[in-house]
Structure 1
Amino acid sequence: MKYIALALLSLATLSVSAQQKKKTVKKNTTTVKPLLATKADSVSYAFGRDIGGSLKSLGITSWNKELIGKALISALDDQNSLIEEDKLRDIIQGAVTDARDQKEKENLAKELAFFTENAKKAGMKSTEEGLQYEVLVEGNGDKPSRENEVTVHYTGTLLDGKKFDSSLDRNEPLKMKLDRVIEGWKIGVPLMSKGAKFRFYVPSKLGYGSQNMGAIPPNSILVFDIELLDFVQDAI
């Protein structure tokens, strides 16, 4: 019950802190004890901040904070739950799923709007799968197939320009068979001749989709600058 524990601990800190603050206010005096007067206060606040951040990251936008606080205190005091314990997990999972689905819809709408406008740029090309690309440097000669091993230099960024990976930073090109990379690469790199450099705009469905890849949030548009250095046919 990870989410239950997080919710309970988060609001417990808020409720406890509020109660402590009330206790420290004395009639006819302007002296108020610091909110974090004891180690227990600091621990409580630290847990509250951490757990509150975790709750916020779930993407749920509608909270009854007062009721969460009451539920938190009731759990800490071993009082009976207003909802049967075996139903709590289903409620929490349902809320998390709904929030995730809503966020995905919003992201896909933004993605559609971006690619619609991006397609209007001079020199922008599109594949039938939805991959968009610009030719930065023309190459010469043959082009690799999906079965080939390619050697490339690349830099990957999010749409806001935040870099998440680059072979240039490692000063070492990537060697990999194209059947082992994301779909956007499988479609895009075979369009390149040796020596070419393209900029690819990869929609989420051709990237990592709804997966959370650490530095790459779910449903992210990916931008790759790729230079094809070499390729080997029929690589094992």
Structure 2
Amino acid sequence: MKKTFIALAITGVIGAGIASTLVAAEPDLKTTDEKVSYGMGLVLGERMRNDLPDLQMEQFLQGIQHGNAGGDEARMSREEIQAALQEYQQSMQKKQMAEMEQLATDNQAAGASFLKENAERDEVMTTDSGLQYEVIEEGEGDKPTADDQVKVHYTGALLNGEVFDSSRDRGEPVTFGLSQVIPGWTEGLQLMSEGSRYKLYIPSELAYGPGGNRSIGPNETLVFDVELLEINPEAAK
């Protein structure tokens, strides 16, 4: 019993000693050089966390030490470093491509499931192309052609409800030619009379497809709440 107590006491003393050493070993941040050195390390560390998520800290710190010492102790040549970087970049590209392909597959399946269920609602109409639309308010004006320009207010969202673009949020409608937008818009707007407000459910093949864009993933089905304010507004002026 005494031996166990003594062993625990010794362990506690050693642990306390190690802890105090670690605390004491923390570098000062008093002088400008100390602050700049820490700041540069912090910024570099943040960049490495984003650029190199699998960073091996022990090897990384040794590389910094050897480089800062002039490189005489370097364990790799420049050629070996370049080869390792290329291999790493290639593996990351393959990983990203695999993730994008899986995301495209998942989005395609989610879109197909949503559109199938959505088509069963009485208020939703489906065209031959697969575009779905729902009349919120029917206008009494003319309908545009594919060669016309239109002035609209809109809100675009993903199936999860996330809004990725909205002229309403910006407080200003947009004007564009119907031949300059995604096929789902070109077709959908031609169904609308001036003054109408429709909800368009656009399959990925009528939107941005497998490529997506900056704010839209691959094979995303999109939902647009669109108001057709005016046809050929410049001509009317």
TM over 0.5: yes
Which shows bigger deviation, 117-126 or 161-170?
161-170
Q: Do the aligned residues in 1 keep the contact of 2:104 with 2:217 (CA within 8 Å)?
A: no
1:193 shift after superposition: 1.2
Tell me whether 1:211 sits opposite 2:212 in the alignment: yes
Once residues 34 and 124 of structure 1 are traced to their aligned partners in structure 2, the CA distance between those partners, rounded to angstroms, is 70
Give the structure 2 partner of residue 132 of structure 1: 132
**Closer, same or farther: CA 55–148 of 1 in aligned 2, 3 Å:** farther
Give the structure 2 partner of residue 190 of structure 1: 190
**Closer, same or farther: CA 83–69 of 1 in aligned 2, 3 Å:** farther
Tell me whether 1:164 sits opposite 2:164 in the alignment: yes
Give the structure 2 partner of residue 79 of structure 1: 75
Q: Do the aligned residues in 2 keep the contact of 1:35 with 1:41 (CA within 8 Å)?
A: no
Tell me whether 1:178 sits opposite 2:178 in the alignment: yes
Once residues 135 and 52 of structure 2 are traced to their aligned partners in structure 1, the CA distance between those partners, rounded to angstroms, is 43
Give the structure 2 partner of residue 111 of structure 1: 111
| C-alpha RMSD over aligned residues | 3.5
1:137 shift after superposition: 1.1
1:84 shift after superposition: 4.0
Once residues 182 and 108 of structure 2 are traced to their aligned partners in structure 1, the CA distance between those partners, rounded to angstroms, is 19
Greater helix content: 2
1:43 shift after superposition: 5.6
Q: Could you state the TM-score of these two structures normalised by the residue count of structure 1?
A: 0.66
Percent identity among equivalent residues?
35
Q: What 5-or-longer segments of structure 1 have no aligned partner?
A: 1-25, 57-64
Once residues 43 and 36 of structure 1 are traced to their aligned partners in structure 2, the CA distance between those partners, rounded to angstroms, is 17
Q: Do the aligned residues in 1 keep the contact of 2:203 with 2:221 (CA within 8 Å)?
A: yes
1:147 shift after superposition: 0.7
- Corresponding residue SS for 1:33: helix
Give the structure 2 partner of residue 33 of structure 1: 23
Q: Could you state the TM-score of these two structures normalised by the residue count of structure 2?
A: 0.66
Once residues 147 and 226 of structure 2 are traced to their aligned partners in structure 1, the CA distance between those partners, rounded to angstroms, is 18
Count of equivalent residues: 199
Largest Rg, 1 or 2: 2
1:37 shift after superposition: 5.7
Q: What 5-or-longer segments of structure 2 have no aligned partner?
A: 1-13, 29-34, 67-73
Q: Do the aligned residues in 1 keep the contact of 2:119 with 2:126 (CA within 8 Å)?
A: yes
**Closer, same or farther: CA 104–230 of 1 in aligned 2, 3 Å:** same
1:113 shift after superposition: 1.8
**Closer, same or farther: CA 51–157 of 1 in aligned 2, 3 Å:** farther
Give the structure 2 partner of residue 59 of structure 1: none
Q: Do the aligned residues in 2 keep the contact of 1:36 with 1:42 (CA within 8 Å)?
A: no
